[in-house]
Structure 1
Amino acid sequence: MRLLRILLGIVLPPLGVFLTEGVSSALIINVLLTIFGWLPGSIHAVWVITKHAERADEGAY
C-alpha cells in the first residue's frame, strides 16, 4: 500500500497526499506546489508520504 501511495505521489501528487493525510494543510500546500509545477508537488508528496510512514512505524513499537 505504501508503494502505491508513493507512485501516486509521483504521478498525481495531490491524490497521494490526500490518500495519506486526508484533507489537511499538507494537501493544500501540495496543491499549491503542484500548481507551480509538477516536480515541486511530487517532491513534497513523496516527502509527506514517507514522513507519515515513519511516524506510523514509530508508533507501532
Structure 2
Amino acid sequence: MIIIKIILAIILPPLAAFLQVGVSTHFWINIILTLLGGVPGVIHALWLVLTGKTS
C-alpha cells in the first residue's frame, strides 16, 4: 500500500495526503501547497507518507 501512496503523492498529492491523514490540517495544508505550486505539494505529501503521519 505504501508504494501506491508514494505514486499518488507524486501524481495527485492531495489524494495521497487524504489517504494518509484524512480530512485534517495536513490535508488542507497540502491542498494550499499544491495550488501554490505542484512541487511543494508533492514534497509535503511524500513527507506525510514516508514518515507515517496520521491524523
| 2:24 paired residue number | 24
CA distance in 1, matches of 2:18, 2:27: 6
Uncovered stretches (5+) of structure 2, i.e. residues with no partner:
none
Structure 1 length normalisation: TM-score?
Answer: 0.83
Larger relative helix fraction? 1
Structure 2 length normalisation: TM-score?
Answer: 0.91
**Displacement over 6 Å in runs of 4+:** none
| 2:33 paired residue number | 33
Q: Which has the higher contact order (CA 8 A, sep 6+)?
A: 2
Deviation, 1:51, is 1.0
1:1-39 Cα distance to aligned partner (Å, 9 max, x none): 001001101100000000111111100000000000111
Uncovered stretches (5+) of structure 1, i.e. residues with no partner:
56-61
Share of identical aligned residues, percent?
A: 44
Deviation, 1:52, is 1.1
The alignment of Structure 1 onto Structure 2 pairs a total of residues equal to: 54
| 2:6 paired residue number | 6
Structure of larger gyration radius: 1
CA distance in 2, matches of 1:6, 1:26: 16
Instruction: Quote the RMSD (CA, aligned, Å).
Output: 1.4
